[in-house]
Amino acid sequence: MEIVLGSSSPRRKELMKLIGYEFVIAVPSINEEITESNPVKYVKTIVNKKGSFIANNFPTSIIVCADTIVVKNNLILGKPKNKDEAFEMIKKLQNNVHSVYTAVLIQYGKYKKVYVEKTKVYIDPLLDTEIEQYVNTNEPYDKAGGYAIQGIFGKHINKINGDYYNVMGLPINIVYKEIEKIKKGEIYEI
């Protein structure tokens, strides 16, 4: 059974390899503009769009798609577009708690499951000079909320409540269980 990862994220690719699966990558071309204010609805909408796009090209494959956002005070933070935006995002997140939501879609034929995982992340207080130093790296610019828990910024994360891999962009336990269910023939909606 071919597995298709519908993502351009290097972290999701790394996490799929960590689980131990061989897979191909197909990058969905969809509009990810934030028009929905409810974080769960937003990530579900985006992941369903990604899944539909990939399923059109790989109708007999196991499809894995995900979308991750950071939410602070009901404000959805996507990927920063520039240094100023990255600075403002980190400034909002520092010295407080925020939530990371990842929607994961697993699809095989007519079988489709969408899960939304939530993790709370606590960030230490930061000086403006520390934020400036961080945004001058290349790390913030392709990540929701402008940081990577597994990267340079990890030293500022005090604790998390929830799935570490969810914050990286792919809750691997969910993905593993669903793919194994499909491979063992435990689903019947093909």
Query: Which residues are catalytic, by number?
Result: 67
Quote the CA–CA distance of 125 and 131 in Å, as a whole number: 10
Q: Could you please report the per-residue DSSP string of 98-141?
A: EEEEEEEEEEETTEEEEEEEEEEEEE----HHHHHHHHTSSGGG
Tokens representing residue 27 in the block:
């990058």
Compute φ and ψ for 129, nearest 5 degrees.
-65, -35
Contacts of 111 (CB under 8 A, 6+ apart): 182, 187, 188, 189, 190
